[in-house]
Amino acid sequence: MQDNKLFFLDTNILIYYYDKNENIKKIKAESLINQCWNRKIKLVISNQVLSEFVSVALHKLKLSVDEVYFVVKDIISFTGFIKIFYYDKSILSALEISKDFNLSFWDALIAATMKENNILNIYTENVKDFKIPWINTVNPVNS
């Protein structure tokens, strides 16, 4: 069953929410994600996005392991974030999508995971990375 109102949250938007160096993009990411924290909307997030967030938060944003742990724990436990997962067959689908649409494997894995879960919309800064017929992209941090 697909829900045309649900949006997948790409890693870059989650990163801007916690990035102290990107003022304008941070404000826009906060505006969106706070709607989820305030239970006005639900956002879809995957295990891949959480893993990518951990890597960037630790290495680029220089957050501590404890800070990242509590952010991820809060997201995992909060029902406003709908958690979806990729599986072994998702990897094969991602390889096909990567080949068919000339995408990086990691973006194709997000697309495959979205398709398997009937999610049609994504909030991402990287609109060009999701030029796929079944995905509607929205850039919430566009100036």
In a 10 Å sphere around its CB, with 0-12 CB exposed, 13-18 middle and 19+ buried, how is residue 5 labelled?
exposed
Whether 109 shows a pLDDT value over 60: the answer reads yes
Q: How far apart, in Å, are the Cα atoms of 122 and each of 63, 65, 117? A: 26, 28, 13
CATH 3.40.50.720 fits 7-135, yes or no: no
pTM greater than 0.75 (yes/no): yes
DSSP 8-state class, residue 78: -
The pLDDT of residue 87: 94
pLDDT in tens, 44-61: 999 999 999 999 999 999
